[in-house]
Structure 1
Amino acid sequence: MSSTPSSAAPDPSGTPGGEGAAQQPSVPRIVPKKAAKPQFTSTMLVLEAFVVLFATLTASRLIDVPASTVWIVGGVLALVLVILSRTVAAPGGYIAGSLVQVPVLAISIVIPLMIPVAVVFIALWVVSLWLGAKIDRERAEYDAAHPDEAPNV
């Protein structure tokens, strides 16, 4: 047995409920894209947090400092990286993200093998800033040239 009363006839589009039913648009909905720069930089900071945790794990076994001190310093730096990854689009977020690259590079003092890793991540941070801004700028230009198709307006 159907729970729909027999008096509820389908409307011409075939959906039960007549005019009260939600109409599907004939044109596909344009979904706005998120800005590329915050996505790229946020991803880089989260990846750096993982690298810092692995470097902390390595440093806790290699240096003659109490492991608790190493874990506190490494954990705080990783936590700062994760927090900055969530707030990178806020005012001053990109500057803070750039400043936090210094302690990541400073880890190389304790673990010399971190020098190439830190340099690569700093380069990726700079590329994320540059390429993200470039993509956002090109999207804005496209949206200005094609206002009827512009999802990012």
Structure 2
Amino acid sequence: MLTLQAVVTLLAIPVAISVAHTDATRAGIVGGALALAGLLIAGLLRYRWAYVAGSVLQILVIATGFVVPVMFFLGVIFGALWAASIWVGRRVEGAQPR
């Protein structure tokens, strides 16, 4: 989920520049940092704190909707997918082997 979200966040950079008329440097730094954070957190999910960091990242991505309004929608979608992934992961880990 976080890797796909990183791709979407990177794709939002040109939208922020061309449609929302955001400064290109600022859009690149913020979007790039969020995408890089998503990739790093995805690689660190073996640690418990990374799940909290991933949840914080979801809030930050939703907040980018103040610049690119469609990110409100996409952020909520990815947030729901993130929550569902955690829920399914816990169910699988708690399942008894046959």
Q: Same fold (TM over 0.5)?
A: yes
Please list, as runs of the form range in 1=range in 2, the aligned pairs for 1:55-74 lying within 5 A after superposition.
Answer: 55-74=12-31
Please list, as runs of the form range in 1=range in 2, the aligned pairs for 1:31-110 lying within 5 A after superposition.
Answer: 44-110=1-67
**Stretch moving more, 63-72 or 73-82:** 63-72
Q: Which amino acid aligns with 1:118?
A: G
Backbone CA RMSD of aligned residues: 1.2
- Specify every segment of 5 or more residues in structure 2 that has no aligned partner in the other structure, as ranges: none
Which residue does 1:117 correspond to in 2?
74
Q: Which amino acid aligns with 2:47?
A: A
Residue 134 of structure 1 pairs with residue 87 of structure 2:
no
Q: Distance in 2 between matches of 1:125 and 1:136?
A: 17
Scaled by the length of structure 2, the TM-score of the pair is 0.92
Deviation at residue 131 of structure 1 after TM alignment: 0.5
Q: Distance in 1 between matches of 2:68 and 2:26?
A: 15
Q: Distance in 1 between matches of 2:26 and 2:51?
A: 29
- Specify every segment of 5 or more residues in structure 1 that has no aligned partner in the other structure, as ranges: 1-43, 147-153
Following superposition, which runs of at least 4 residues in structure 1 exceed 4 angstroms of deviation?
none
Scaled by the length of structure 1, the TM-score of the pair is 0.61
Aligned partner of residue 48 in structure 2, secondary structure: coil
Deviation at residue 66 of structure 1 after TM alignment: 1.9
Q: Distance in 2 between matches of 1:122 and 1:91?
A: 18
Q: Which amino acid aligns with 1:127?
A: A
Q: Distance in 1 between matches of 2:26 and 2:55?
A: 25
